[in-house]
Amino acid sequence: MSFELPVIPAAPVAPAAPARDAAWERAARWAVRLSWISLVYMGVEGGVGLWQGLAAGSIALAGWGLASFVEGLASVVVVWRFTGARRLSDTAEHRAQRLVALQFFILAPYVTVESIRTLIEGGHADVTAIGMALTATSVVLMPLLGKAKHNLAQRLGSGATAGEGTQNILCGIQAAAVLLGLAANAAVGAWWLDPLIGLFIAFVAVKEGREAWRGESCACC
CA-CA distance, 149 to 162, in Å (whole number)?
6
CA-CA distance, 10 to 49, in Å (whole number)?
53
With cut-offs at 50, 70 and 90, classify the pLDDT of residue 7: very low
Quick: pLDDT tens for 107-162: 778 778 777 877 787 666 677 889 889 999 999 999 999 999 999 998 888 887 88
pLDDT at residue 221 above 60? Answer: no
Quick: pLDDT tens for 48-91: 999 998 888 887 788 788 878 877 887 888 888 888 777 766 67
Specify the CATH number of the domain 23-213: 1.20.1510.10
pLDDT given at position 17: 59
Neighbours of 4 (CB within 10 A): 5
CA-CA distance, 64 to 42, in Å (whole number)?
11
CA-CA distance, 112 to 12, in Å (whole number)?
41
User: What b/e readout covers 47-59, taking b as 16+ CB neighbours within 10 angstroms?
Assistant: ebbbbbbeebbbb
Maximum mean pLDDT: which of 9-18, 95-104, 193-202 = 193-202
CA-CA distance, 27 to 149, in Å (whole number)?
10
Segment 199-212 shows an average pLDDT of 79
Residue among 160, 162, 14 at smallest CA distance from 92: 160
